[in-house]
Structure 1
């Protein structure tokens, strides 16, 4: 199964509560530059779509 590297690249200070919850569910902390590896599946892709303006995604 393919993996995705998700990195937080923008501040989370102006995000709404559901968006913050999505970032937490992805495993990202509130620090810019923090990254996490997740399996590539439809659920993760849906969460990425909700917060794509504050993260960067790479396929591994």
Structure 2
């Protein structure tokens, strides 16, 4: 039985228009392109840091 990594669902709930460039890049790095799009990502410290940086733009569920 392999150890499957935990997943996090991240949804873009607020537009990136008018935000800081590095925040827009974080949203793109998470794989989010359009509003209300949801992606499922591995639960890693890097992903957590990106979510934390743009927490005002995204909704996250474990």
CA separation in 1, counterparts of 2:60 and 2:42?
12
Q: Which residue of 1 aligns with 2:24?
A: 20
**Highest Rg: 1 or 2?**
2
TM-score, structure 2 normalization: 0.89
Aligned pair count reads 58
Task: Name the structure 1 match of 2:56.
Answer: 53
Structure 2 unpaired stretches of 5+: none
Length-normalised TM-score, structure 1: 0.91
Aligned Cα root-mean-square deviation (Å)? 0.7
Question: What is the distance in 2 between the residues matched to 1:18 and 1:54?
Answer: 13
Aligned-partner Cα distance in 2 for 1:17–1:46: 16
